[in-house]
């Protein structure tokens, strides 16, 4: 099995988990901390899709891969995104998800307030996650996965 196929399989699995947790588990248990776990699965799915795209394009010698993740991300945005018919809004949302994950990993603390999760950075800047935002991110991840599947199966 090629590397891009493994990445795609992992992305599909993460997306299925995120989708199930969003529409089945979360409404049932109503535990706000679950939002962070759902977000993690969405992030894994998007990373899996991006890695699948990069590995697929590299396999057919359309791009070069680098050891630095930032260089690979720039390659994805500048060279691959248009080939996979990703519009600017989708690219912006993908960047937003990646940036939010970075902030989440570096955050001093997170806490639940009413129906949202607040991520507090070291500089006391807050980022809010709620189920509506999670559903938007989930939609972006699904769209990305569909576009990757369309292109790779051709």
pLDDT digits over 60-113, tens only? 999 999 999 999 999 999 999 999 999 999 999 999 999 999 999 998 899 999
pLDDT digits (tens, 9 = 90+) for 18-68: 999 999 999 999 999 999 999 999 999 999 999 999 999 999 999 999 999
Helix (H) or strand (E) holding 8: helix 3-20
pLDDT higher for 124 or 33? 33
What is the reported pLDDT for 154? Answer: 56
Q: Which CATH architecture has domain 3-101+131-153?
A: Up-down Bundle (1.20)
Helix (H) or strand (E) holding 10: helix 3-20
Per-domain residue ranges for the chain? Answer: 3-101+131-153
Neighbours of 85 (CB within 10 A): 11
- CB–CB of 103/8 below 8 Å? no
pLDDT digits (tens, 9 = 90+) for 110-123: 999 989 999 998 88
Question: What percent helix, strand, coil does the chain show, rounded to 5?
Answer: 70, 10, 20
Beta-bridge partners for 129: 117
Quick one: pLDDT band at residue 127, thresholds 50, 70, 90?
Answer: very high
What is the reported pLDDT for 28? Answer: 97
């Amino acid at each position: 099995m090629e590397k891009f196929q493994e990445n795609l399989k992992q992305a599909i699995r993460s997306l299925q988990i995120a989708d199930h947790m969003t529409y089945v588990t979360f409404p049932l248990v109503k535990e706000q901390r679950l939002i962070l776990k759902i977000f993690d699965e969405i992030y894994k799915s998007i990373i899996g899709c991006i890695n699948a795209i990069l590995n697929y394009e590299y396999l057919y010698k359309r791009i070069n891969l680098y050891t630095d993740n930032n260089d690979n991300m720039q390659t994805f945005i500048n060279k691959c995104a248009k080939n996979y018919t990703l519009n600017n809004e989708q690219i912006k949302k993908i960047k937003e998800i990646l940036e939010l994950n970075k902030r989440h990993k570096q955050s001093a603390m997170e806490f639940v307030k009413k129906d949202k999760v607040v991520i507090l950075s070291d500089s006391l800047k807050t980022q809010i996650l709620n189920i509506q935002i999670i559903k938007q991110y989930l939609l972006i991840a699904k769209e990305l996965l569909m576009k990757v599947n369309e292109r790779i199966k051709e």
